[in-house]
Structure 1
Amino acid sequence: MSDTDFSGQAVLITGGASGIGYAAAQAFAKRGARIAIADLNQDTAQAQAATLGDGHIGLGGDVSTEATADRLVSATMDAFGRIDVLINCAGMSDTFLDTIDQTAEHWQRLIDVHLTGTFVMSKRAAREMIAAGYGVVINISSIAGILALPRRNAYTAAKHGIVGLTRNLACEWAQKGIRVNAIAPGYIRTPLVQNLIDQGKIDEKKIRRRTPLGEMLPPSAIADAMIFLASPLARTVTGVNLPVDGGYTVYGGMVDAAEIED
């Protein structure tokens, strides 16, 4: 059995019906895991789970509430009898408004989904993991958890918060057999990001020029990092925020990082 064989393990993925979450579902299912895809729309979650083959489930709910967190974890336990890996991938896009035009309602909603959702899901899943003496939690931060993204206050604050939460939980649960890490994706070509490109809110060419690898990474690049962090290969890795961004966050030059064709 290889270090990246997840046969017999159960993986719960919030925001798992599209983008990075669905890429993760495909990657873990390919390696033998049983997948619980959780998404806001249950029908969508069930349809996407069905594409993975037999033995996977789709669940619906708003991850920002403790009641939903309890229901999602309980349903995963009922279906599989265990939960080995939790991936907190549920999220939503921020506004691109000047700060003085942003609303507290939008701020709170985004914080609730990204940060509070990560907290309540991790807390509830940890009960099962502590009882089993083993578990892996992977949170999705962002380059916005490392850098400033002006006019995207709620998103930036939430992602920085996820990094802090990841470090706290990693230290608290290390002796209980639970590893907690975060991944900080760069601009990944998900349906959400593609929509922002199409709306003219993100300039793809500028991003590629700013990225040393000169490309926007596919969702599978993040899934590959998740496979590593969830595997025995990373058995001594906990509390990290791993950038998977093509070098975006380390580049500080005065000129373009990469030459690309227009």
Structure 2
Amino acid sequence: MNKVVLITGGASGIGWAAAQGFAAEGARVAIADLQVNTAQQHAMSLGAEHLGLGGDVSDEEQVAMLLERTLDRYGRIDVLINSAGIPDSFAPTVEQDVAAFRRLIDIHLTGSYMMSKGAAKTMLHQGKGAIINLSSIAGVLGLPLRNAYSAAKAGISMMTRTMGCEWAAGGVRVNAIAPGYMLTPFSRKLISEGKLDADRLRRRTPAGRLGTARHIADAMLFLASDRAEFITGVTLPVDGGYMAFGAASDAYGGPLDAIVGMTDELQ
């Protein structure tokens, strides 16, 4: 894959899995993250042809800087992956902080908008490009206590549709992935804090297990490839059947392996 891939939130979790996946396929990867030292260290670990950048996707000037530095280094951007994000509060609505709500929307939704807008200018000039956004099952299903996150992810899915339709004739495809409950560092933290019940989630998932960041990275590799050249405006669930299931019973009735000791190979 002779492509230049810019990944926001690329220093951990799904973003880092994507960086490793694309690098393994021969792409040159620019890892952008608030944690600049980690981004640079990860880029170095992938090889000298990769780039680590620090920046806040909710800041328009820093967004411009991330795009400019990637273009300065490589001369083009073929794939943009918008995976930067922060967790929500898991608090009752009447107790939620408005400033925290706005901050989450700014990073997830506005950040994806600004990064996509900036990258599309280059991609449309090139006549080709792919943008992949991170939505969520939270953007489709009603998850109490998660107003900001759910609103942001639903917005990302609809923005994916509008941009995908707007830029298709110019050769720029825009798609999104809606992960289910994945075994990432973020979800591990929520499980340890008692905010997520891992056994209940696995019972609710037809596949009977949580996914990993690699599952999302593999879907990104497909959507970024020429094999997906006629796919745009789509939000693809990668959730082990979670959103497809609708019966009034457990989706999975088999044995549950202990989650302790389970590893996400691409943390």
TM-score range, shorter chain: over 0.9
Q: Within 1, Cα distance between the matches of 2:252 and 2:168?
A: 40
Residue aligning to 1:103: 97
Q: Within 2, Cα distance between the matches of 1:223 and 1:44?
A: 19
Superposed CA deviations along residues 156-183 of structure 1, whole A, max 9, x for unmatched, are 0000000111001001101111000000
Residue aligning to 2:73: 79
Shift of 1:30: 0.4
Residue aligning to 1:138: 132
Shift of 1:103: 1.0
Shift of 1:66: 1.3
Percent of residue pairs bearing the same amino acid type: 56
Superposed CA deviations along residues 213-232 of structure 1, whole A, max 9, x for unmatched, are 00100100000000110111
3-state DSSP class of the match of 1:248? coil
Does residue 14 in structure 1 map to residue 8 in structure 2?
Answer: yes
Map 1:186-197; keep pairs closer than 5 Å: 186-197=180-191
Residue aligning to 1:3: none
Shift of 1:146: 1.2
Q: Within 2, Cα distance between the matches of 1:247 and 1:50?
A: 37
Map 1:49-128; keep pairs closer than 5 Å: 49-128=43-122
1:152 to 135, 146, 150: 146
Does residue 207 in structure 1 map to residue 163 in structure 2?
Answer: no
Residue aligning to 1:38: 32
Residue aligning to 2:159: 165
Shift of 1:51: 1.5
| Poorly superposed stretches of 4+, deviation over 2 Å | 259-262
Shift of 1:38: 0.3
Question: Where do 5+ consecutive residues of structure 1 fail to align?
Answer: 1-5
Q: Within 2, Cα distance between the matches of 1:171 and 1:66?
A: 24
CA RMSD of aligned residues (A): 0.8
Q: Within 2, Cα distance between the matches of 1:50 and 1:246?
A: 33
Shift of 1:69: 1.1
Q: Within 2, Cα distance between the matches of 1:50 and 1:214?
A: 37
Q: Within 2, Cα distance between the matches of 1:179 and 1:40?
A: 27
Residue aligning to 1:229: 223
Q: Within 1, Cα distance between the matches of 2:201 and 2:77?
A: 37
Q: Within 1, Cα distance between the matches of 2:135 and 2:96?
A: 22
Q: What is the TM-score of this pair, normalised by structure 2? A: 0.95
Q: What is the TM-score of this pair, normalised by structure 1? A: 0.96
- Counterpart residue type for residue 208 of structure 1: R
3-state DSSP class of the match of 2:72? helix
Shift of 1:50: 1.2
Q: Within 1, Cα distance between the matches of 2:41 and 2:184?
A: 19
Shift of 1:184: 0.1
Superposed CA deviations along residues 87-142 of structure 1, whole A, max 9, x for unmatched, are 00000000111000001101000000000000000000111111111110000000
3-state DSSP class of the match of 1:63? coil
Shift of 1:54: 1.9
Shift of 1:149: 0.9
- Counterpart residue type for residue 163 of structure 2: L
Q: Give the length in aligned residue pairs.
A: 256
